Amino acid sequence: MSRFLAILERDLRKFIRNPLVVAMSLLMPIIYLVILGNSFQGELKRLPIAVIDLDSGPHSDRVMELLRTIEAGPRTLDVRVISDQGFAMQGLREGVFKGVLIIPEDFSRNVIRGTTAELGLYLDNAETISANTVRASIAGALPELRDEFISIREERTQTRLRDIELYRKIDYDQTLIPGVVIMAIFLGAMTTGAFNMVMDKFLGVEESYFLTPLTKRDIVMGLIASGLLITTLLALLVLFFGSLISGLYIWQLMTPVSFFLLIIVIILSTLGLQGLMFMIMGRINHPRIVGVLGGFLNVILFFPSGAIYPIESFPGWLKAFAWVNPETYSVHAMRALLFKGAGLQAVEADIVYLSIFAVASVALGLVVFKRAL
């Protein structure tokens, strides 16, 4: 234990004595929040929505035809007909669906009578850009429905979509907060732990370890523990300042249970990425290679995580990678805890995956690390 604590203390002192690294690890995610929150645009595809047809009439069939046209044409929506309304709403809360469209029992009758015929649309506005896209796609099809059915009195039927956002109003820059937190974790994992080990090799400091009773496990676990402390603190600071900048005051939204689960997600995400860095950099001996790998890893882990756009809009090969990307589960869990007030049930699968990934990556990092010249 004393050897482990010695490595831990030394690594913490090295990080604190480098204010530039501390400042960049803290400021870069905040800069990403400001820039991406005001500049990123794009077209979404294959957003899953559930449709509950309580009418089963001729005009509800026409609604389904229009939705299938959107699905086959611009491919904005992925329409799934669900018979159980409770199951559909639970899927909406868990992020399986981006919206739930309900066709009420009297829809066809109201269309025939020429009175107002309403469709109910529940939206997961925790992902603002997805909710807006679903709303616009369905609302854009309604004029065609209205023009096709004319009542006996020659009065045009008024078909109206009543959309209901499931959560409080969330702006796009606020939805990026989970992404910038995970970016802070990534930067912390890059600039602590394995990176310090590479610098020790480059400067020749590691050779002095051979004169000590330090084992491979002492070195790796000490560096990972120091990186875990530093990165977790950085992530919490980024979360706090990001909330202030975007106007999303998490202390007003989250329960103590949600905040505790959020800290667990941050710790597991940090531990997993620290282990991943040791797996990749365990035998690297020059910091220039670390710089090249850092940019590459940031692209392939951050952007496919769903932090900016939902993974449902990715092509198949990228979607497959997203499902094994640990940052995907971190972003999903943080979004559910921050915006939806979710409990353990909603993030249980994310926590299980992050736990398995953390244990596996740390174990493999120990195997890869070489305590030799």
Mean pLDDT of 8-30: 66
- Long-range contacts of 243-250, Cβ-Cβ distance < 8 Å, separation of 24 or more: 243/177, 245/30, 245/33, 245/34, 246/33, 246/37, 246/171, 246/173, 246/174, 246/176, 246/177, 247/171, 247/174, 248/170, 248/174, 248/177, 248/338, 250/338
Residues 158 and 182 in one domain: no
Poorest-confidence range of 10-19, 264-273, 347-356? 10-19
Average pLDDT over residues 95-113: 85
Q: Which of 97, 132, 165 is the last residue of a domain?
A: 165
The radius of gyration of the chain from alpha carbons, rounded to an integer in Å, stands at 25
56: alpha, beta or left? (left if phi > 0; alpha if psi -120 to 50): left
- Of the candidates 353, 347, 295, 299, the one whose C-alpha atom is nearest the C-alpha of residue 323 is 353
pLDDT score of 18: 64
Give 151-210 pLDDT, tens digit per residue.
333 344 455 666 666 677 777 778 888 888 998 898 888 888 777 777 777 777 666 666
Give the pLDDT of residue 210: 62
Instruction: For residues 122 and 227, state if they share a domain.
Output: no
Q: Are residues 200 and 148 in the same domain?
A: no
One domain for residues 285 and 340 = yes
On the question of pLDDT at 308 being above 60, the answer is yes
pLDDT above 50: residue 149? no
Question: How many whole angstroms separate alpha carbon 30 and alpha carbon 49?
Answer: 33
pLDDT value of position 155? 42
Domain containing residue 192: 2-40+172-368
For residue 66, tell me if it sits in a domain.
Answer: yes
**The pLDDT value given to residue 371:** 57
d(CA 116, CA 20): 62
| 134 Cβ contact list (under 8 Å, min separation 6) | 47, 49, 76, 77, 98, 99, 121, 123
Q: How far apart are CA 169 and CA 58, in angstroms?
A: 35
CATH number at residue 99: 3.40.1710.10
Last residue of a domain, one of 144, 165, 186: 165
Domain stop point among 165, 194, 219: 165
pLDDT exceeds 80 at position 306 = yes
Q: Is the pLDDT of residue 19 over 70?
A: no
Gap between the Cα atoms of 258 and 272, Å rounded: 21
pLDDT band at 339 (very low <50, low <70, confident <90, very high): confident
Residue 373 lies in a domain: no
Same domain, 254 and 304: yes
User: How far apart are alpha carbons 312 and 168 in whole angstroms?
Assistant: 23
Our measurement of the distance from residue 80's CA atom to the centroid of its chain's CA atoms, rounded to an integer in Å, reads 23
Of residues 373 and 276, more confidence is placed in: 276
As a whole number, the mean pLDDT across the chain is: 79
Question: To 10 degrees, the CA torsion angle through 40, 45, 48, 51?
Answer: 110
- Note whether 197 and 317 are same-domain residues: yes
pLDDT digits (tens, 9 = 90+) for 20-36: 566 666 666 666 566 55
List pLDDT tens digits, range 39-79: 454 567 788 999 998 888 888 888 888 888 888 877 888 88
- Asked if residue 78 is part of any domain, the answer here is yes
Query: What pLDDT, on a 0 to 100 scale, did the predictor assign at position 302?
Result: 85
- 158 with 67, same domain? yes
154 and 95: one domain? yes
Rounded average pLDDT over 214-232: 82
Q: Are both 225 and 280 inside the same structural domain?
A: yes
- Within a domain: residue 235? yes
- Please indicate, yes or no, whether residues 361 and 286 belong to a single structural domain of this protein: yes
What confidence tier does 353 reach under pLDDT thresholds 50, 70, 90?
A: very high
Q: How many domains does the chain have?
A: 2
Tell me: the pLDDT tens digits for 232-287? 998 999 999 888 888 877 777 788 888 999 999 999 999 999 888 888 877 777 77
Measured from the Cβ of residue 301, the count of other Cβ atoms closer than 10 Å reads 22
pLDDT band at 150 (very low <50, low <70, confident <90, very high): very low
Q: How many CA atoms lie within 13 A of 153 on its CB side?
A: 8
Q: Residue 77 in contact with residue 137, Cβ under 8 Å?
A: yes
Mean pLDDT of 347-373: 85
Query: Do 267 and 325 reside in the same domain of the chain?
Result: yes
Are residues 144 and 186 both part of a single domain?
no
Going by C-alpha positions, the residue among 11, 24, 1, 3 that lies closest to residue 224 is 11
pTM value is: 0.67
Q: Count Cβ neighbours within 10 Å for each residue of 48-81 and write b for 16 or more, e otherwise.
A: bbbbbbebebebbebbbebbeebbeeeebbbbee
**Quick one: what percent of the chain has pLDDT higher than 70?**
79
Average pLDDT estimate for 294-310: 80
Question: Does residue 113 lie within any of the structural domains?
Answer: yes
Structural domain includes residue 323 = yes
